[in-house]
Amino acid sequence: MKMYYEKDVDLNILKDKTVAVIGYGSQGMAQSRNMHESGLNVVVGLREDGASWKKAKNDGLNVMTVEDAAKAADVIHILIPDEIQGEVYKKSIRDNLEEGNTLSFSHGYNIHFGYINAPENVNITMIAPKGPGAMVRKTYEEGFGVPGLVAVERDYTGNALQIALAMGQGSGLTRAGVLETTFKEETETDLFGEQAVLCGGATELIAAGFQTLVDAGYQPEIAYFETCHELKLIVDLIYAKGFAGMWNDVSNTAEYGGLATRKRIITDETRAEMKKILEEIQTGEFTREWATETNAGSPMLKRLRTIESELQIEKVGAKLRKLCGLQK
């Protein structure tokens, strides 16, 4: 394992270079503002006169069209959604690349699965915060940062790693530490984590627990507190102290009950399905499915969003979050 911190980085490597951040969503906003305030020459590439264009200008950033930003930049940092990166690259970036440029990402998806094929005479790098954009910005403003990942897929200039690390320092990531990885490892583990644990697995577990209690006749509001609301408290403990620290901080009853029953929830069948999900990611089956879905206008995703919005736990949760002052 190789970790990099501020002492390992020379920010001057970007002193006379222009970094174009393509996109101004959660990560685009956070990373561009952080790098700008760290003294880097940052431009933001956006669709002209869109809502993000005005917001970025109001935030004090130099805003250009994607084409003009790519032309002006030495480093093109692509932070738009995965499913549109390939098309935007072909339309607005590819023909504006120059020898020795760096094509940079915060997720390896489009490079690893071949939706973007860059010319041989440019660097391909990744600097990826391990946290949402709001947290990247908040921790930077507080004088710290979130941890990050760094990877080099192609080192044409011989200093691609140093360029990526300098961007990481500009975003505040080297304050917490940046771990070296590969495009393959980052992409496949990220997709697996999202699907099997963080987003897919967690929400299904919460929904199943909630529905089990409601079907048994308990109040939906009580079921929500026990299966969803309090989960944040447990995750925060694990985040700060690990499993052992969490078990130490909960009651002995909770510790024994959790340890004694958890394998009845996550069974061998569940683990086998996790391996299958990982294989679908590794072979590209998932990315082909997602490409077909987006090319068709995302009909399945829209249906799934509708189904999710109609769940009882969503309606109960919205009401309770409002009553507790957590949501307006």
Q: Binding-site residues for NADP(+), please?
A: 24-27, 47, 52, 133
User: At which residue do the structure tokens 């690893």 appear?
Assistant: 112
Residue list, annotated binding site for Mg(2+): 190, 194, 226, 230
Contacts 24+ apart (CB under 8 A), 140-143: 140/30, 140/34, 140/37, 140/171, 140/172, 143/175
**Of the candidates 127, 178, 95, 153, the residue with the CA atom closest to the CA atom of residue 21:** 127
Contacts 24+ apart (CB under 8 A), 190-193: 190/107, 190/108, 191/109, 191/281, 191/286, 192/274, 192/277, 192/278, 192/281
Structure tokens belonging to residue 87? 């098309």
Half-sphere exposure of 197 (CA within 13 A, CB side): 9
Half-sphere exposure of 67 (CA within 13 A, CB side): 5
To the query of whether residue 107 is one of the catalytic residues in this protein, the response is yes
Using CA atoms, how far apart are residues 200 and 192, in angstroms rounded to an integer? 10
Q: How is residue 181 annotated by DSSP? A: -
Residue list, annotated binding site for substrate: 251
Residues 6+ apart with CB under 8 A from 139: 131, 145, 146, 172, 176
Q: Per the residue annotation, which of 77, 107, 112, 229 is the catalytic one? A: 107
Residue list, annotated binding site: 24-27, 47, 52, 133, 190, 194, 226, 230, 251
| Catalytic positions, written as ranges | 107
